[in-house]
Amino acid sequence: MVMEYCVCGMQEMLDSVPAKQFPVFQAHRYFCQLIDGLEYLHCQGIVHKDIKPGNLLLTTDGTLKISDLGVAEALHPFAEDDTCRTSQGSPAFQPPEIANGLDTFSGFKVDIWSAGVTLYNITTGLYPFEGDNIYKLFENIGKGDYTVPEDCGPLLSDLLRGMLTYDPAKRFSLQQIRQHSWFRKKHPQAEACVPIPPSPETRDRWRSMTVVPYLEDLHGYTEEEDEELFDLEDEIIFTQDFTVPGDEGYQILGIWSRGKAEQGEQLSAEEYPLPEVKEQEAALEADTEQRRELLNLQGAQSAGGRLQEADADQRRELLNLQGAQSAGGRLQEADVDQRRELLNLQGAQSAGGRC
């Protein structure tokens, strides 16, 4: 499957600058593309429901792409209007009708409100509504009270107020947005634009071909944890501790040399003897030796126990044998006494007969 490549999201670009906002000319260019994309979606009967900078991607030439249609709703082809009954978008970008819990609302006007909050955010670096928690946030949105910074200018302020109108029926439509003076105006480039931040993947083009990304996802590893081991001039080092069931303390170390990376070769710990690696190897060998000694000691104790049991059994058999012999001797003595008594009795009978 071949898909379009987007280098980053709009939210990543905003986060890459301290002001968290775009220059007016750059924000205008992205906003015009956003309105084009929304118009296409609405013409197809699709309500996005979650328009925000985090769901707007950019290609290498600055083309904006609307992404993440996970909560979008496709209207019935024969529906009378754009009425929707469910919404699962990001709280800060939801309109008052959703914050107030209405059962039905205009889906297209929800997207226009979210686009207005997005325009407010990328031009001021702020949000029109905020709250310490989601309940306070929805309470503020439900009231519909907000202010537009004075440095936005009258044209942009008027457009924002039209898109963030409390009553959905009076809220700007896409056609009204296109006809607005700020939208139609050509904004000169008075300052440098916010550049697309460099991708972290460019520093190691072989990384995606290894098992490292899978292990990172499996063990919750973040690349920032070993940032101090990363050397842009010479080599790229990636380390990670892994817990093996029934055992602990093993560390997988991957060292990539830029010289050998051209051939896709990986250096082992022996070829690149870091002090940390040597210490880890020594600790591992000592731990293994201690385990062997413990197993040998346990085996010796077990063997000694078996010998003691065998010796006790032999003693019992000897005592039983001696007891049997003693009992046999007493039986023989009793038999001799009986024979003597019998002979005496026979002798007495014989003497009486002679008399």
Active centre residues (catalytic): 50
Tell me the pairing of strands 83-84 and 73-74.
unpaired
Burial class (CB in 10 A: 0-12, 13-18, 19+), 10: buried
Are 45 and 77 in contact by the 8 Å Cβ rule? The answer is yes
Q: What residues have CB less than 8 Å from 237, skipping those under 6 apart?
A: 226, 229, 230, 231, 253, 254, 255, 256
Running DSSP on this structure, what letter comes out for residue 21?
Answer: -
Secondary structure class of 9 (helix, strand, coil): strand
Buried b (16+ CB within 10 A) or exposed e, 24-61: bebbbbbbebbbebbeebbeeebbbbbbbbbbbbbeee
Q: What is the DSSP letter of 265?
A: -
Q: Strand 247-257 relative to strand 235-244: parallel, antiparallel, unpaired?
A: antiparallel
Here the tokens at position 278 are: 């040597």
- Look up residue 37 and give its DSSP letter: H
Q: Taking Cα atoms as reference points, which of 234, 231, 236 lies closest to residue 253? A: 236
Plot region of 264 (φ>0 → left; ψ -120 to 50 → alpha; else → beta): left
> Minimal CA–CA distance to 210: which of 155, 162, 252, 149?
252
User: Is there a contact between 93 and 117 (Cβ–Cβ < 8 Å)?
Assistant: yes
